[in-house]
Amino acid sequence: MASKKNKLRVFSLGGLQEIGKNMTVLEYGNDIIVIDCGVAFPEDDMLGIDLVIPDFSYLIKNKNKIRAVFLTHGHEDHIGSIPYFAREINVPIVSTKLTLGLVDTKLKEHNLTQVEKICVEAGQVVEAGVFKIEFIRSTHSIPDSVALAIYTPVGLVVHSGDFKVDYTPIHGEPIDLQRFAELGRSGVLLFCCESTNVEQKGFTMSEKTVGAIFEEIFHQSPKQRIMVATFSSNIHRVQQIINSAANHNRKVAVVGRSMTTVVKTASELGYLDIPPNMQIDIAEIKNYPDESLVIITTGSQGEPMAALSRMAISEHKQVEIKPGDKIIISASPIPGNEKTISKVINKLMSKGAEVIYEGLTDVHVSGHAKQEEIKLLHALLKPTFLMPIHGEYRHLKHHKQLAVDMGMKKENIFIMDLGDALELTEDSAKINGSVPSGQILVDGLGVGDVGNIVLRDRKHLSQDGLMIVVVSMEKDSGQVIAGPDIISRGFVYVRESENLMEEARNVVREALSDGNGSSEWSYVKMLIKDTLKEFLWQKTKRSPMILPIIMEV
């Protein structure tokens, strides 16, 4: 029985009104469970940032209440933050075999070998404090994906994870619609359902349809070297490339760090079937004729450091693009990546390669449910309350309308923001309060040490450049002994702007001589900054970052 005073709180620290860094939290009394722990990739204005992770501060503060982390599948936007989370909070990580295999690789890279991992299969139930969590077989673009049915003291919560309804999956059995129907008959209090493709009508095509397209392309390219760029975690896609390569007696080489890691883990765990002697090292490709090769690579999103992008600009050590190469980009652009992908395609084509991408042929299908599949789960579960997750505001809004069209009451559907707490009893739900949330930026080994001010400075430097003014001053009198010397980086080329630099020195010198010999260094620095800023704006209509350095003598 539910306690009179305790209510179930459900909130997200990632994946609401954004794509990526998915993380949902359920809290009841002294028990907390966490669902997924993902990363997002930096936006264009996050200069130098490698990853974006959720703000764990609420969970760190309440770590004694956390019973476990449950992972729905092995994509980066669901498992990528695990190493950063595990540094702060040591609780069991519960998931399926492949997901834990990919997590284990990450933890080893971060030297986190003491984390407890509990491997489960679809159909199993795990207890965590007052919660019971049932794993339901699902289908997505990676094997071993699950949805979760969470039995709480106030009622049943179903979390969809990422899913599509694929009746002919590449690996394993189809999604367990029968179990969803049984749960619906027993009564579902809250449905947390993904919204990524909710704007798109119809059904998502089966992954097997891409296999037929690959087979056709391979058949039409008997003399060409074939390269396929796709997401490293799309193991179903990699398997279909391997199947077509086997059918056409081609060797397969894998390039790109993340692709190599995932292929190794998946094949060791039995989720990739690679025929004996088929896979070769990328360094061996020079020993084989073009018609005997398939290269599987990262870089389907045009990422600057990924293998395909480096090949496109002739900076890859082992692969040189040649005229006649056939390159398949088997992915759709993540919103915002269209320009970078277009640049890579243009560079590849200028080298004489034939490039096949989504606009030309159906070389990609999504792993996410479209409207009809989302409707199917809604119809089977018949939830009392709905919390759309995994999407930007427009996706969540469309999801709400879809649910209303299916007969749900508007007031029972909650479009939430990060940190908003949905408070539930057996027969009510309302948004009540919030917890700290946001994003933490990861730059190299630094976690959270780059904030808005540092990003603002980086943006300023990247757009306007830097001028350093060095002055030596007498400590007591404030008299200038040497300088000012001015160093410019990213503003103007000094050798071609000697007159401007000399004028700038004179302006600073005059300002300092009028500064009444002040030895208040903060005042002197501000004087240099303001004077030089005004002068440079009048002369160039540009505002570089100005960094005064005062040396006491």
Q: 3-state SS of 450-483?
A: CCHHHHHHHHHHHHHCEEEEEEEECCCCCCEEEE
- pLDDT of amino acid 543: 78
Instruction: Tell me the backbone φ, ψ of residue 218, rounded to 5 degrees.
Output: -60, -40
CA distances from 465 to 46, 493, 529, 535 (A): 17, 11, 14, 16
User: What pLDDT, in 10s, does the model give residues 177-204?
Assistant: 999 999 999 999 999 999 999 999 999 9
- Rg, the chain, Cα only: 28
Question: Does the pTM exceed 0.75?
Answer: yes
- pLDDT of amino acid 102: 93
| CATH class belonging to 208-356 | alpha beta
HSE-up of 92 (CA within 13 Å, CB side)? Answer: 12
Domain 8-202+366-447 has CATH 2.40.70.10: no
Q: For residues 319 and 328, give the distance between their C-alpha atoms in angstroms, rounded to a whole number.
A: 15
pLDDT of 94 over the 70 cut: yes
User: Which residue did the predictor score with more confidence, 180 or 528?
Assistant: 180
> Running DSSP on this structure, what letter comes out for residue 391?
B
Q: Rounded mean pLDDT of 415-435?
A: 93
User: What pLDDT, in 10s, does the model give residues 194-253?
Assistant: 999 999 999 999 989 999 999 999 999 999 999 999 988 889 999 999 999 999 999 999
List for the chain the helix, strand, coil content (%; round to 5). Answer: 35, 25, 40
Return the axis-axis angle of helices 97-109 and 257-268, rounded to nearest 10°: 130
In the chain, residues under CATH classification 3.60.15.10 are 8-202+366-447
Strand 23-28 vs strand 31-35: parallel, antiparallel, or unpaired? antiparallel
What is the CATH code for 465-552?
3.10.20.580
pLDDT of 3 over the 60 cut: no
Residue 486 and residue 468 in contact, taking contact as beta carbons nearer than 8 Å: yes
In the chain, residues under CATH classification 3.40.50.10710 are 208-356
Residue 421 and residue 434 in contact, taking contact as beta carbons nearer than 8 Å: yes
pLDDT of 72 over the 50 cut: yes
H, E, C per residue of 330-381: CCCCCCCCHHHHHHHHHHHHHCCCEEECCCCCCCCCCCCCCHHHHHHHHHHH
Among 142-156, 287-301, 400-414, whose mean pLDDT is lowest? 287-301
Residue 399 and residue 193 in contact, taking contact as beta carbons nearer than 8 Å: yes
Q: Rounded mean pLDDT of 507-513?
A: 76
pLDDT band at 545 (very low <50, low <70, confident <90, very high): confident
pLDDT of 532 over the 50 cut: yes
- pLDDT of amino acid 500: 77
pLDDT of 37 over the 80 cut: yes
Instruction: Tell me the backbone φ, ψ of residue 455, rounded to 5 degrees.
Output: -65, -40
- pLDDT of amino acid 470: 82
User: What tokens were used for 5?
Assistant: 């005073």
pLDDT of 255 over the 70 cut: yes
Q: For residues 230 and 62, give the distance between their C-alpha atoms in angstroms, rounded to a whole number.
A: 39
Q: Is 202 exposed, middle or buried (0-12, 13-18, 19+ CB in 10 A)?
A: exposed
Q: For residues 150 and 132, give the distance between their C-alpha atoms in angstroms, rounded to a whole number.
A: 6
Nearest residue to 54 (alpha-carbon basis) of 82, 28, 91, 73: 82
User: What pLDDT, in 10s, does the model give residues 96-135?
Assistant: 999 999 999 999 988 888 899 999 999 999 999 999 999 9
User: What pLDDT, in 10s, does the model give residues 367-380?
Assistant: 999 999 999 999 99
> Running DSSP on this structure, what letter comes out for residue 423?
E
In the chain, residues under CATH classification 3.10.20.580 are 465-552
- pLDDT of amino acid 1: 44
